[in-house]
């Protein structure tokens, strides 16, 4: 039986490049970068070299890079910083979307509840896209921040980031994007795409867990989430995780350099997967067919419960998910699928498949057949499905 890992949107296997980049800073150059003696200064030099390399990958300047513990921390610091800056100018309105990652949504909810901010969550079209025009129409005189994710973590749709950023730049509003799913998988240029702040996480592009980046354009005042030291230009206290940062820089460099080859391989395989799964009756792709990440596909199937689908796929050797890894313990339907208009009864039965660049045609075809078999098996034992087939309940999707 094949063993196929199809949950790269949750986390990726560390690359050998990242592992080898980390090893010297665990065993040899292990000094504290804030120390003045030689081994500490060697670590400091490596840290600043990594900062410059990361900056180059996204078109930024080294001093605009703050190392964090991951995407969630970077999201929090970006949003809180923009909110505080806006508050000082009497601006307490923030615009986001209804299908953001919870690191964004929960931070916005806290600002509403505890500090009196007003948040506008834009509706998302059925194709999983928000337009720049909709953002422009929502901006008010008291808007201090727009935060729209680069690529959705569940359905993989990619937003018109450059156009949204241009609108924000014209209106004088800060623009943040959660690019955790996008970094290393599609081209990012913060200057060309009009991005003021951006969040990424190493373990989404074959780097280590627990390492991330906040890009903040020069001149944007940042609020400290962690106090206690002068690290990261005084914006993030605590001894830097030099081994993880070296792994992050190496992995991002490698992924960024290979984006063209990655897309050339993955897009045809992704489309092959979509075509195969589209043969299953009463199922539909979630999100736009074209404007999506090269390796991520998300489907809903009528009459299917997501947990059973995942467990039976695992029995067949396919490791998949039904949505965000951060909410895998929740019994509620995906807020992302509800945001694009899926009803509760099918939002519970979603399947996310996210492949890495080592996937083969044979693995794609095996996955398609495994999903077909499991869906047929589950429907065969489902009273709800029998009601659909007998006409007692109406079908949602076309056959």
Token digits for 248?
A: 């992050």
Predicted confidence at residue 384, as pLDDT, reads: 86
Task: Check whether 366 has a pLDDT greater than 70.
Answer: yes
Which residues share a beta bridge with 212? Answer: 68, 201
* pLDDT classification of 243: cutoffs 50, 70, 90: very high
Task: Check whether 264 has a pLDDT greater than 60.
Answer: yes
Predicted confidence at residue 250, as pLDDT, reads: 98
Kindly give the residue spans of alpha helices, DSSP state H, lying in 278-321: 306-315
Whether 57 is a known active-site residue: answer no
**Active-site choice (57, 168, 300, 326):** 326
Predicted confidence at residue 380, as pLDDT, reads: 93
Query: Which of 97, 7, 94, 75 is closest to 340 using CA atoms?
Result: 97
Predicted confidence at residue 28, as pLDDT, reads: 95
How far apart CA 334 and CA 328 sit, in angstroms, is 10
Q: Are 323 and 299 in contact (CB under 8 A)?
A: no
* 209-242 residue pLDDT tens: 999 999 999 999 999 999 999 999 999 999 999 9
% of the chain with per-residue pLDDT over 90 = 91
Predicted confidence at residue 322, as pLDDT, reads: 85
* 61-118 residue pLDDT tens: 999 999 999 999 999 999 999 999 999 999 999 999 999 999 999 999 999 999 999 9
Pairing of strands 212-216, 197-201: antiparallel
Ordered DSSP codes for 66-98: EEESSHHHHHHHHHHHHHHHHHHTT--EEEEET
Task: Check whether 329 has a pLDDT greater than 70.
Answer: no
Q: Which H or E element spans position 45?
A: helix 38-58
pTM of the predicted model as reported, rounded to 2 decimal places? 0.95
Angle at 227 between CA 223 and CA 232, to 5 degrees: 70
3-class DSSP state of 238: coil
Average pLDDT over residues 32-56: 97
Average pLDDT over residues 181-198: 98
How far apart CA 292 and CA 287 sit, in angstroms, is 8
Task: Check whether 327 has a pLDDT greater than 80.
Answer: no
Predicted confidence at residue 398, as pLDDT, reads: 85
* pLDDT classification of 349: cutoffs 50, 70, 90: confident
Mean pLDDT of the chain: 95
How far apart CA 56 and CA 58 sit, in angstroms, is 5
Average pLDDT over residues 314-322: 96
* 118-171 residue pLDDT tens: 999 999 999 999 999 999 999 999 999 999 999 999 999 999 999 999 999 999
């Amino acid at each position: 039986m094949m063993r196929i890992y199809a949950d790269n949107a949750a986390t990726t296997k560390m690359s050998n490049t990242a592992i080898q980049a980390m090893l010297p800073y665990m065993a040899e150059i292990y000094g504290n970068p804030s120390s003045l003696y030689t081994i500490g200064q060697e670590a400091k030099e490596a840290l600043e070299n990594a900062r410059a390399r990361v900056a180059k990958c996204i078109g930024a300047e080294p001093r605009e890079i703050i190392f964090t513990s991951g995407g969630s921390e970077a999201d929090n610091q970006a949003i809180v910083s923009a909110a505080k800056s806006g508050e000082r100018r009497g601006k307490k309105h923030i615009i986001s979307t209804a299908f953001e990652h919870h690191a964004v949504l929960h931070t916005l909810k806290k600002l509403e509840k505890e500090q009196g901010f007003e948040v506008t969550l834009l509706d998302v079209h059925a194709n999983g896209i928000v337009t720049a025009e909709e953002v422009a129409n929502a901006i008010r005189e008291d808007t201090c921040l727009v935060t729209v994710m680069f690529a959705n973590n569940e359905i993989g749709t990619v937003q018109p980031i450059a156009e949204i950023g241009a609108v924000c730049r014209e209106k004088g509003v800060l623009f943040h994007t959660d690019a955790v799913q996008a970094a290393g998988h599609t081209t990012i240029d913060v200057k060309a795409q009009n991005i003021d702040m951006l969040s990424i996480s190493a373990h989404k592009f074959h780097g280590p867990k627990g390492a991330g980046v906040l890009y903040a354009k020069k001149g944007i005042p940042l609020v400290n989430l962690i106090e206690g030291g002068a690290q990261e230009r005084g914006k993030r206290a605590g001894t830097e995780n030099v081994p993880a940062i070296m792994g992050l820089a190496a992995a991002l460099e490698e992924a960024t350099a290979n984006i063209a080859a990655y897309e050339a391989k993955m897009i045809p395989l992704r489309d092959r997967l979509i075509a195969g799964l589209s043969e299953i009756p009463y199922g539909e792709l979630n999100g736009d067919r074209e404007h999506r990440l090269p390796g991520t596909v998300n489907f809903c199937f009528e009459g299917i419960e997501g947990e059973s689908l995942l467990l039976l796929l695992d029995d067949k050797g396919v490791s998949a998910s039904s949505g965000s890894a951060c909410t895998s313990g929740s019994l509620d339907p995906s807020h992302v699928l509800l945001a694009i208009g899926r009803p509760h009864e099918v939002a519970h039965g979603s399947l996310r498949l996210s492949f890495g660049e080592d996937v083969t045609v044979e693995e794609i075809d095996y996955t398609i057949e495994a999903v077909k078999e499991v869906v047929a098996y589950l429907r065969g034992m489902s009273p709800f499905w029998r009601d659909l087939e007998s006409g007692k309940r109406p079908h949602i999707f076309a056959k």
